[in-house]
Amino acid sequence: MNSTEVYVLFGPPGVGKGTQGELIEKKFNCSRISTGDIFRENIRNQTELGIEAKSYIDKGELVPDSVTLGMVENAIVEVAKNNSIIILDGFPRNVNQAEVLDDICEKYHYVLKCVIALNADDNVIIQRLSDRLTCKKCGTTFHKIYNKPSKEGVCDKCGGELYQRSDDTPHAIANRLDTYRSTTEPVLNYYQHSGKLAEIDASASPEDISKTVFKLFSS
């Protein structure tokens, strides 16, 4: 069997990593790991990890690496059992996590293929996040103005209830953007000379962005 290929979806909060991740999953035969989704599931189920993570997430801070790294390694190893392509959404989010991802790839003989870095201006991001609605059940996102659900408050995909994430509030959004610019964005430098970095302007529509993103997978 060929070694498992890892793709990273990188970028500020609300830039569309989740949306693109879902489109990639549907089009190509692969599986996505969203650290944010794993944390939210743990919060819903009130696990120890969820309780610890919630205080950081609600403030718009990163969950400490001591909590995140083991969780991610387990998730990757589990998913790699049945998938030859893995999409990471929301990891790595600091330089230490990027280094650990290299260690994980070396340890299990995975190949880091590409870091797909989406970017958009802060005002675009704030607009997207402030009016974002998320499905409680399946995590699909909508927007109160640009991407309304057919029926108010109900997910088009699964019928689940839509809510505003506790970190999609003005204060938490501002913190998440600060954290991104100070701690996460330096990860781009880490990959700068790896030949694996693909930077994409994500202010366009999801369909237009996905055309560019899909090319990275077909090549």
Site residues, ligand ADP (CB under 6 A): 13-14, 17, 35-36, 39, 56-57, 60-63, 68, 90-91, 93, 97, 167, 176
CA distances from 84 to 3, 31, 122 (A): 7, 9, 35
The pair phi, psi for residue 132, each rounded to 5°, is: -85, 140
Alpha-helical runs (H) found in 63-161: 65-80, 95-108, 122-130
Note whether 162 binds Zn ion by CB under 5 A: no
Nearest-approach distance from CB 213 to ligand ADP, in angstroms = 16
At residue 3, the 3 state secondary structure works out as coil
Quick one: tokens of 109? 């003989």
| Catalytic-role residue among 27, 132, 151, 157 | 132
Nearer to Zn ion by Cβ, of 140 and 210: the residue is: 140
Minimum Å gap between C-beta 84 and ligand ADP is 23
From 59, 157, 165, 196, the catalytic residue? 165
Verify binding: residue 160, Zn ion, rule CB under 5 A: yes
For ligand ADP, the closer CB: 3 or 55: 55
State in angstroms the smallest separation of the CB of 58 from ligand ADP.
Answer: 8
| Phi then psi dihedrals of residue 116, to 5 deg | -95, 105
Is 176 known to be catalytic?
Answer: yes
Contact between 133 and Zn ion (CB under 5 A)? Answer: no
Q: Does 153 bind Zn ion (CB under 5 A)?
A: no
Structure tokens at 112: 């880091």
**Binding of residue 138 to Zn ion (CB under 5 A):** yes
Residue type at position 60:
G
Burial letters 38-64, b for 16+ CB under 10 A, else e? bbbebbeeeeebbebbbebbbebbbbe
Catalytic center residues: 17, 93, 132, 165, 176
Query: Which parts of this chain interact with Zn ion (CB under 5 A)?
Result: 135, 137-138, 140, 155, 157-158, 160
